[in-house]
Structure formats: structure tokens, C-alpha cells
Amino acid sequence: MGTWGTGIFSNDTACDVRDMYRDCLACGYDDAKAERAVREYWVSQVRDTEEESVFWIALAVTEHKYGRLSDETKQKALCLIEYEIKHVENWSQTQKSKRRAALKKAASMLELPSEKKKISPLRGHSTQWKKGDIILASMETEQNDGDYFAMQVFDVIDVPCSSFIQDSPVNQVPVVGIYSWIGKEFPGAYALIQCGFMKRNGLASERPSVIGLITTERECKKYCCTVVENNSMYLEHINEEQIKQQIGGTWGGFKSSIACLQVQMQKRQAE
């Protein structure tokens, strides 16, 4: 668990507490159930540690933000804030005043009334992509106007929208590998296989860089994604167990992978 600043949420635990509480509300939990779920998950983990005050202050500030601050959480947080303001030995000399200021601001805010806010419910995304689908997508760059890259769907997995709530809605996440290919039109599955898949630090490899994508309609439209063929030929060239070991990533990681592909292909052409 890390701390990178003096703010109330400049800490991994504080951010996780905030996110879990919000997810509970978004999953339809009432105020009491949401607080109880967060406390049951965290209290035993942080008890008698430096993270205990982080937890209670973060929970109180988050509950206040959504207009659901309980008296018990408020009092616990205020007591811990008062104590921490007097004991900031763990902070550097330059950070002590900033931390005290952040704590005093939080304490003042907790004393103010707050209006109950509506929380948008968590909704999972589905996908039309299937295992074996080959997807052509636009490079989305001026330098490669009209060029496409290709992806292969290795699998489609269900991933909960919340990493904290087991019964939260799920996203259907296609797990894809990106081919080491850029072109104007689909060259056929066999030609793509000969190009190989991208790996994280280079080009073709038997262990492709695997990315999980939440394929929202907006993102598919942005990249002009089109399913051109369903083909399992790639299974003859890669190990599915290796794929499962590498699952991860987001559209952000996806964008950086495409940028890497562009650079690598330019180098290949220059050779």
C-alpha cells in the first residue's frame, strides 16, 4: 500500500475505500448495508496499523460526499483527525504543514451538512465478439490514414464491474492479441499468422502481448472495428495456457500497444 502525497486520497487504501463504498451504492446497497460491507472488508485489515486512521477518514469523507455520513463514522474520523494533527512525525518537515491543512479541511467539511446524491448504477458491457474472431481496426492517425491493424479474439471472459463486490454486474471482456501487421485491407487469416503477434517488447513471438478490452460501442466506433472472419488457425501457433497467464490491460494499454506497433512497423520498413 502506498502514499504519494499529503491529501486525504493520496493513498492506495483511501482510494480503495472510496471506490468500494461508491461501488456498493452503485450495486443498490442501502446506506447502512454499504457502510457495513466496507467496514467488514477493511476494519480487520487496518486495525492497530497506520492505515486505520486512513480508512476511517476516507470513509467519512466519502460518505459525506454522497450525503450519507453516519454519526459513528463521523465521530471516529474526527477523533483520528484531531490526534493526527498533533502527531505528524511520519511526515517530512515540508509535508507536515500540508498534511495538517488537509486534515483540518476534512474536519471542517465533515461538520457541514451534505445533500444526498443519486448514484448511477453499475452496468456491465456485453460484446458481440466471439472467440476466434479477427478484428480489423483503424490506426486512427494522420500518418496512417486508411491503414488498419488486426486483432484476434483469444477468449471472452466475464469480469465483475467492481473488484470488491462479488455479485456486481459483469463486463464481457474479449481477450485479444494484436498482429504485427498494418495494411489497407484484410490479407487473410493465414497471412496474418505468418506475421505473428506482437509481444510486449518487440514483434512476433509465440507469447503474444495479451490485452483485455471492454468493447463499448463508442470505442468500437472510434476505431472502426469490423469482424472480418472467425478462424481458430492461431491455436496451432500459440499456447492457450500462456495466454491465460498474461490476461490484463485496458483501452489505455491498448492505445500504447498500437503506438508501439506503428513504431515497430516503421522500423521494419526502414530496414
Grid cell for residue 238: 500459440
What pLDDT does 175 receive? 82
Report the SS3 class of residue 27: coil
Q: Which residues of 240-268 are buried (b: 16+ CB within 10 A; e: fewer)?
A: eeebeebeebeeeebeebbebbbebbeee
Q: Cα 108 vs. chain centroid, distance in angstroms? A: 32
Q: What's the pTM value of the predicted model, to 2 decimals?
A: 0.70
What pLDDT does 246 receive? 53
Q: Is the dihedral of CA 78, 82, 85, 91 positive or negative?
A: negative
Alpha-carbon distance of 141 to 148, in angstroms, equals: 10
Mean pLDDT, the chain cut into blocks of 10 residues (271 residues total): 88 96 95 97 94 97 97 97 89 91 96 94 89 87 69 85 87 84 90 80 50 69 87 72 54 61 66 60
Grid cell for residue 6: 499529503
What spatial distance separates the first Cα and last Cα of the chain, rounded to whole Å?
45
Alpha-carbon distance of 197 to 180, in angstroms, equals: 5
Up-side HSE of residue 16: CA atoms within 13 Å toward CB?
Answer: 18
Alpha-carbon distance of 160 to 165, in angstroms, equals: 8
Quickly tell me which residue has 502525497 as its cell: 5
What pLDDT does 39 receive? 97
